[in-house]
């Protein structure tokens, strides 16, 4: 998420892996793995060669936070039982089930409705 949010400030630019590693203070190996996942999901594209780098493959107003999280981490982690039980449902609830259902629905709605273009880049100071 941090990578795409940083790139979304200037979505038309081409970003090298080296530049992103330095700016976002992440390991090169980790960044490249994420960029591969993001590229396979169709959010970004890479250009090979000396003048290569990464840029958006689609418009940032068409990318929801939910899609990004789901493509890299999987939304299942967020939608699973908050206490970690395999079998947790309305008919077999854990101690936190009813409260977590409400919070989970709000988070899903927030992530689904929020696009990269909706973020207030003027106020962001950390990536």
Q: Where are the domains of the chain?
A: 2-59, 60-113
pTM for the full predicted model: 0.81
Q: What Å distances lie between residue 127 and 18, 21, 59, 81, 123, CA to CA?
A: 16, 12, 20, 29, 12
The yes-or-no verdict on residue 79 having pLDDT over 80 is no
Counted residue by residue, the chain has a size of 127
What is the three-class DSSP state of 62?
helix
Mean pLDDT of the region 33-49: 92
The yes-or-no verdict on residue 10 having pLDDT over 80 is yes
Residues forming beta bridges with residue 44, ordered by sequence position: 56
The yes-or-no verdict on residue 76 having pLDDT over 80 is no
From the list 87, 64, 60, the residue with the least C-alpha distance to 75 is 64
Domain 2-59: which topology? Arc Repressor Mutant, subunit A (1.10.10)
Distance separating alpha carbons of residues 11 and 24, to the nearest angstrom: 16
pLDDT band at 125 (very low <50, low <70, confident <90, very high): confident
Please give the pLDDT value at position 73.
83
Residues in contact with 100: Cβ distance below 8 Å, sequence separation at least 6, in sequence order: 81, 82
The yes-or-no verdict on residue 95 having pLDDT over 80 is yes
Tokens 């003048």 identify what position? 51
Tokens 């960044």 identify what position? 31
């Amino acid at each position: 998420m941090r990578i795409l949010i940083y790139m979304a400030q200037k979505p038309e630019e081409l970003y090298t892996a080296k530049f992103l590693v330095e700016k976002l203070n992440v390991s090169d190996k980790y960044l490249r793995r994420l960029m591969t996942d993001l590229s396979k999901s169709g959010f970004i594209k890479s250009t090979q060669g000396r003048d290569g780098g990464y840029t958006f493959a689609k418009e940032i107003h068409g990318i929801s936070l939910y899609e990004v999280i789901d493509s890299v981490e999987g939304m299942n982690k967020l939608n699973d039982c908050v206490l970690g039980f395999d079998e947790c449902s309305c008919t077999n609830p854990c101690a936190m089930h009813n409260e977590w259902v409400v919070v989970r629905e709000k988070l899903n709605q927030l992530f689904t409705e929020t696009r990269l273009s909706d973020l207030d880049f003027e106020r962001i100071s950390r990536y």
